[in-house]
Every structure is written in C-alpha cells, then in structure tokens.
Amino acid sequence: MSIQNRFQPLLKQREQEHLYRRRPLVFSPQQPIMQINGIECINFSSNDYLGLANHPNIKQALLNSLNTEDDISYGSGAAHLVTGHHLHHHLLEDELADWLGVERTLLFSTGYMANLAVQQTLMQAGDTILADKLNHASLIDGAQLSAATVKRYPHLDMEALERRLKQAQAQNSQVMIVTDGVFSMDGDIAPLKTLQQLAQNYQAWLFVDDAHGIGTLGKQGKGCFEHFGLEPDENTIIVGTLGKAFGTSGAFVAGSETLIETLIQFARPYIYTTAMPQLNALAIREALKLVKNAEASREALQQNIKHFREGALKIGLNLWPSETAIQPIMLGKSETAVAWSEALKQAGFWVGAIRPPTVPKNQARLRVTLSASHTVEQIDQLLQALHNIQTRIGG
C-alpha cells in the first residue's frame, strides 16, 4: 500500500469533520497587531504573555554580540556533551537556577524534548506514573515512552489521585505525579499545595510542567510554586519553557544536583541532540533580566485578564473558569468553533479554534490568549466582535 492510499482517506475525513489544521503564514514580528495570511489583525493567539518576543533589549543584545569582536558563532556545532556546551549556555543554566532557588537547571532545545527526557529517564519498570487526564501531549508521550505503568486520574481530582497513590504504595511502587502547572487548553492551575503534600505523604516524586506559569505567575514570575508560596523540595522536577513568557525559544529542567546529573548521563533526548544556538542562550539571558523586573507587565497582564473576563461574562459567553492568560470560550462543536474563528478573522482578529484531539470530543473552543502588551481598547474591540458573532451565528 502506498503512503497516499493509506493516509489520503484519513486526511479527507479530518477535513470533513472540521478538524483539518493549516499553518498560518506570518509576515510581521510577534506583537499584538500582525500580518497573518495577508490579513492585518489583532493577534489573540500568541503565548507571548509579557510582550518580550519583539523586545528591543533582546534584539539589541543580539546585534551587539554580532557586531563585536566576541568569538561567538550562530551554531553550537554539536551536542552539549561533545563540543556544543558554550559559555552562554553554562551561564544561563546558572542564572536560571539562582533565580528559581534550585540547585541546578539543564537546557533543552524544546519543552517537548524536556518532558520526554524526564519521564523516560527517571521512571523504570515497576514504577508508576500518575498523570492528570488533561496533561499536555508532550507529558503523555513522555509517560508512554517510559518503562513505568501509566495511570491517569480525572482532571484536578485529588481524591482520585490519593486512591491511586495508596494502591501504588501497597504495591511498593515508586510513583511520579505528573501535571501541568497551568493547563494549556483550559487555563486552570493545578492545586500545587495539595499535590506537594500528597507527594510528600506518599514518598512520590512531583513533576510539574510550568510552561505557562514561568514568567507570568508569582511576584517575580517564578511560576506556579511562587504563586502558591511554595518551595520545591529535593523530589520536585520543574520544566519551564522559554518560548512563551520569555519570548525566545527552548526549555529547561530545574531541580536537584542529582536530578540534573542523572539527566546529563542518561537522558537520550539530551545526549543525542545538538545544543541550541548560543545566540539563543544569549537572548534568553537578556530575557531573564526583563522577566525578573517585569512586575508592571505582570500586573498589566492580570488587569487585561480581569477586563476580558468581566466583558465576556457580561455579554453571555460560555467562558471557562481561568485566572491565567489562557481564556477558553467553549463552543462545543468543531464546526461552530471554526465558524467563529473565521468570522473573527474577517473582523480583524486572530483567535484559534481548538478542536479534538487537542481537547476532548464536544469541547471545541476558541482559545483567547492575552498579553501584557494588549491594550484595553483592543480587548474591547475583540469583545464587541465576539458579541456580534454570537448574535449572528450563535453557539
């Protein structure tokens, strides 16, 4: 059977079910007003939560490096364990660890790779991974690639999680609790106080993917742990991504000295891949300075969230409960979500339609993401457009 014969019917079926995905083509920097697919629009689909992706300080840091005598190449040239671990990588890892108050951090090229590496490396046959049912795809894949038994608990159901912890304890199985910090499609926050307490009570390891919390939550932007006033212990593993609030790209794992050394020695996604360009590490170092001092931007983001939620509820939108920059408008059917998204594009707004399998069946939605760089006027314009579409199309 040819590739075409096997997959063409599946592609056709996906299109008929309003689940087909197409890549938008961007013609402008990442910012609130953008050129996407030839349309000038206000972008409400970016994870650039603090507006740093096009920040002049980061761009200037790169230009300064390229225009000086510094011996810095674009490509890292090799994996970290060969000759790819350059000075800016090393300094960045130290600076991230100092900022977060952990013993060490380890850089990865993407958050997906970091999430694969942690579970695949740490969890062995006879161990148990207890994962929130709505975890990100990278966490699901990382769990499946490990040798451990994987069990999923209902979303945020701490009673169900504790039952599974008791079962694993009775079987003398080492457990890793795996959860998003901020859930990427719902925008809600994992109850870390309860999760940390359960992990400590049952001698489990706690693994938190804080991709959408790092930079945005907590007084200093340290993420979900700071948001709840918690400190990670020696059995806590945190993944943070750098392509969202930091406005750059890449990711890191944060934790104990033993954790990081174990990943360096045994994590295949770390050992067998080329290190990120050192210019990217330099850009992240500059972004870290901005994130540390972004109290005003974090406050502006919170005000934008509050303003959007109040306006959305006032016009009767089915808004999912979320106190973060991710604000889902639940529409149910995939064709409805696509219709609303297309109508918004015609009105000059870019808001993505999120459909299965990214979200459960009959939970298609618009995923509005807010940034500190959005203005109140832009948010009001979006709300008016949503109200007009609601009146015209329904949902």
C-alpha torsion 255→258→261→266, nearest 10: -100
The yes-or-no answer on residue 306 being catalytic is no
C-alpha pair distances (Å), 315 with each of 310, 378, 380, 386: 9, 17, 12, 9
Nearest to 349 by CA among 357, 362, 361, 340: 340
Residue 270 annotated in ligand binding: no
Residue 80 annotated in ligand binding: no
C-alpha pair distances (Å), 280 with each of 257, 290, 392: 24, 15, 46
Class of residue 124 by CB neighbours under 10 A (exposed 0-12, middle 13-18, buried 19+):
exposed
Question: What is the number of residues in the chain?
Answer: 395
Options 184, 297, 341, 373, the catalytic residue = 184
Query: How remote is the C-alpha of 216 from its chain's centroid?
Result: 11
The yes-or-no answer on residue 184 being catalytic is yes
Residue 358 annotated in ligand binding: yes
How far, in Å, CA of 330 to CA of 185, rounded?
A: 11
The yes-or-no answer on residue 219 being catalytic is no
Residue 22 annotated in ligand binding: no
Residue 241 annotated in ligand binding: yes
Residue 112 annotated in ligand binding: yes
What single-letter amino acid sits at 369? T
Residue 45 annotated in ligand binding: no
What are the DSSP calls for 31-85, one per residue?
SSEEEETTEEEEE-----TTS-TT-HHHHHHHHHHHTSS----SS--SBIIIII-
Options 86, 212, 222, 227, the catalytic residue = 212
How far, in Å, CA of 59 to CA of 66, rounded?
A: 11
Options 80, 88, 244, 374, the catalytic residue = 244
Binding residues for substrate: 21, 136, 358
Binding residues: 21, 111-112, 136, 184, 212, 241, 358
Binding residues for pyridoxal 5'-phosphate: 111-112, 184, 212, 241
Kindly list the catalytic residues: 184, 212, 244
